[in-house]
Structure 1
Amino acid sequence: MATVQTLDKIRQSLQRHLGKKILLKANKGRKQIITKKGILEKVYPSVFVVKLDDETNGYSRVSYSYSDLLTANVKLQVFKDQNKLHVS
């Protein structure tokens, strides 16, 4: 079971990457995985918000909880070079 300290460590590590370009992979269930590029926009006590580059789905922002990262339902990769789109 995840402790509060574990979730706080995840939140703190995300705060270091605020405003950076990321690659988001989210498991939507039934073998559906979405992959989007965006910018880590906000970090709140319970959730984080990603502003998506691609607005074709009708929404420009998505939010996930830190437990989604802990359970690997959501995976984030920070781009190495913020000007070029190379994934670290």
Structure 2
Amino acid sequence: MIAKEDITEVRKRVDGYVGSKVMVKANKGRKRIVIKQGVLQSTYPSIFVVKVQNELQNTYRTVSYSYTDILTNNVELSLCQE
């Protein structure tokens, strides 16, 4: 079971990276893994938002993930080297 303290700890760590370029590796199920680079735009009490650029077009898209996704290893968030 995931404790509330664990979620608040993950949220505090993610809060420190707002505005930074990050790489998100998301497990979408059935052996589908999506890797995207973007900017960590904002954090909310239960989710965080990443702004990613579409590869085919020159448009941006916002993608949101929950902090429990990080705790359950469905999403990996890492800083990009600039």
Query: TM-score, structure 1 length as denominator?
Result: 0.84
Identify which of structures 1 and 2 has the higher relative contact order when contacts are C-alpha pairs closer than 8 Å and 6+ apart.
2
Q: Which residue of 1 aligns with 2:23?
A: 23
RMSD: 1.8
**Structure 1 vs Structure 2: percent identity of aligned residues?**
43
Q: Distance in 1 between matches of 2:56 and 2:49?
A: 18
Query: TM-score, structure 2 length as denominator?
Result: 0.90
Task: Tell me which stretches of 4 or more aligned residues in structure 1 moved more than 3 Å.
Answer: 55-59
Letter matched to residue 34 of structure 1:
V
Q: Which residue of 2 aligns with 1:67?
A: 68
**Structure 1: gaps spanning 5 or more residues:** none
How far apart are residue 56 of structure 1 and its match? 4.0
How far apart are residue 54 of structure 1 and its match? 2.5
Q: Distance in 2 between matches of 1:38 and 1:54?
A: 10
**Structure 2: gaps spanning 5 or more residues:** none
